[in-house]
Amino acid sequence: MSPAVAPEPSAPFGEWRGGQVTPHAHCLLQGNPGPMTLDGTNTWVLMSPGGTDAIVIDPGEDEAAHQQRVVDHVAARGARVGRIVLTHGHHDHSEGAPRLARLTGAPVQAVGRGHDDLSDGDVLRVGDLEVRVVSTPGHTADSISFALPSDHALLTGDTVLGRGTTVVAHPDGELAAYLDSLERIKALTGGGEVASILPGHGPTVPDAATMVDFYRTHRRERLDQVRAALAGGAETADDVVATVYAAVDRSVWPAAKMSVLAQMAYLQH
């Protein structure tokens, strides 16, 4: 069987700039590109055209210029930041939240890490815009996504990226939960509620269903590869990484090791 082939990204590496991507979602791309952040962190500003309140999702790393850019972007539209929400607690998504909260007076909402003020199915409202919380643990235990029904879009943080695949960040991340989350997103795409993905890194995904199918197939293939490596004599996660990820740039091997540890734990159970 041929290996899963990823859909072509909507923008080549280095050409994703963010901007207004749906009627209600604008991406401000932070200038922090890297092996784990791809083109950089996508900070999403959600608001209705002509609205006076905005939701900011994932303020990014703590960088005065980036958080000020968010404030200026919202103010230029005659609005204010009403709330700041996080897809998960990794620093490249959340570190800038305290600064943005100080600049705007808006509350920060998230799952875990002293918050626990968002739950699956919660509806966040700004003006006439509704944003629904969708629990999608697995990348991390606190990972959540946000459905934007009016735009048939899902903001996925690191659960689904704009190119490549994500890491199941063992031990906080857990593969069984991640696979369940992919099935949940698949159901949303199958029902027509979600057509596109607005990720935490990388360009937007205009065909959510195809990308999620790729993710699901890729995970099954990786599990098969890990099983084969263990059967072939690999004893440690490092051994498995050296076998399974031999053709992958070594700069991502530490992240790959986290996913391999998650897969080994999954196979043990």
Active site members: 92
83 bridge partner residues: 55
By the 10 Å C-beta count (0-12 exposed, 13-18 middle, 19+ buried), 112 is classed as middle
Element (H, E) at 229: helix 208-231
| Size of the chain in residues | 269
Q: Tokens 């990388």 sit at which residue?
A: 202
Cα 200-206-208 angle, rounded to 5 deg: 75
Q: What is 152-186 written as a DSSP string?
A: TEEEEETSS-SSS-----TTTS-HHHHHHHHHHHH
Cβ 235 vs Cβ 221: under 8 Å: no
